[in-house]
Amino acid sequence: MKLSKLSSIFCALALGTIGFTVRAQDNPEQAAARLALAKQLFEVSAQPVTNAPPTNAVSSKEARAKAKADKAAAQAKAKQADADAKAKQDAERAAAIKANQDAAQSAAQAEAKQAADKKLAKQQADKAKADKAAAEAQAKQAAADARAKQDAEKAAAIKAKQDAAQAAAQAAAQAEAKQAADKKLAKQQAAQAKADKAAAEAQAKQAAADARAKQDAEKAVAIKANQEAAQAAMQAEAKQAADKKLAKQQAAQAKAAAQATAKDKQEKKAKKNQAAQADQAPVAPKPAATTGNSISSDLNLKPIAPPALPISASKADRLAALLTKYKADQITPEEYHQQRAAILAEP
């Protein structure tokens, strides 16, 4: 009968689809499930077609379609184990199934149309059978469309799951990268703070060293100034002593010269008097004044004033008292120079 031929065509198409999917590198469990499903489809298509009422036939077809859908669901559950790795294969499989279904539908429609034309030429009964066959084909097509829709939804779910996993991986990578960047930034900031601290410490040390160097330089300048002042005072004191000694020597020399001159005058005057006495009566000579004032006045000499020291009167008095102690051997030369330098260094 035409209906049995149509069922055979659908079975062949189903077997071809199953063969195509088997060739898509399925695992043994999936291949066995597909073969069992093909066997069931073949057994269903081999059953004789009865002239039952159209409603019951449609119900039985729906039941078989439901059974097939259940089998497809079981098969989908078997596929779920490796669905993540074969998302691309599922998409290709769905496209191949759709192509086979379209081909089957085209063939069924062509055969149904041919059967309908023949039935129209014969009788209305053939037309009813053709309509029944068309309804059966439509039911199979609906089942195939439902399976295709399920496959598409599963593929979409797998892709959504992959997209979510990829987004999570990207978020984790970004978080890890941000954490590494923050850690690196914190390390750089710590290194910068350490460098700044070291620079500040070095700057403080340099400032302290500069201050110490300045203090040392000022101390050296002050010491040198004190030494120069002490040396100048010593030189002034030595010069004053030398000037005093020279003045004393000059005064002694002047006094000796004045005495010699006075003695020569006296001798000349005595000789003159003796000569006069030889001619006249002797006259008692007046004694000549031989005081120091008269000698100084005769020589027209002025007393030499000592040079003034570049220090205050109180310092001069203290230096004079210190010199008196030194001359009296009350202090050592080292103590004398130390105390003298300390007095001269005072403001």
The interaxial angle of helices 313-327 and 124-279, nearest 10 deg, is 70
Is pLDDT at 63 greater than 90 in this prediction? no
DSSP 78: H
| Higher pLDDT pick, 44 / 317 | 317
φ/ψ bin of 14: left (φ > 0), alpha (ψ from -120 to 50), beta (otherwise)? alpha
Higher pLDDT, 97 or 46: 97
Across the range 246-259, mean pLDDT stands at 78
The proportion of the chain whose per-residue pLDDT surpasses 90, expressed as a percent, equals 21
Provide the pLDDT for residue 288.
47
User: Phi, psi (5° rounding) for residue 227?
Assistant: -65, -45
Q: Name the pTM for this structure.
A: 0.23
pLDDT for res 37: 79
Q: How far apart are CA 341 and CA 319, in angstroms?
A: 10
pLDDT at 160: 92
Instruction: Name residues whose C-beta falls within 8 Å of residue 121's C-beta, 6 or more positions apart in sequence.
Output: none
Helix-helix angle 2-22:28-46, to 10 degrees? 180
Alpha-carbon distance 162 to 141, whole Å?
31
Sort residue 285 into left (φ over 0), alpha (ψ -120 to 50) or beta. beta
> Which of 1, 41, 49, 46 minimizes the C-alpha distance to 18?
41
Give the pLDDT confidence score for residue 150 in this predicted structure: 92
217 exposed, middle or buried (CB, 10 Å; 0-12, 13-18, 19+)? exposed
Q: Is the pLDDT of residue 287 over 50?
A: no
If you write DSSP's letter for every residue of 10-63 in order, what string do you get? Answer: HHHHHHHHHHHHHTTT--HHHHHHHHHHHHHHHHHHHSPPP---HHHHHHHHHH
Instruction: Please name which of 161, 163, 155 lies closest in space to residue 87, comparing C-alpha atoms.
Output: 155
CA distances from 212 to 206, 216, 218 (A): 10, 6, 10
Is the pLDDT at 282 greater than 60, yes or no? no
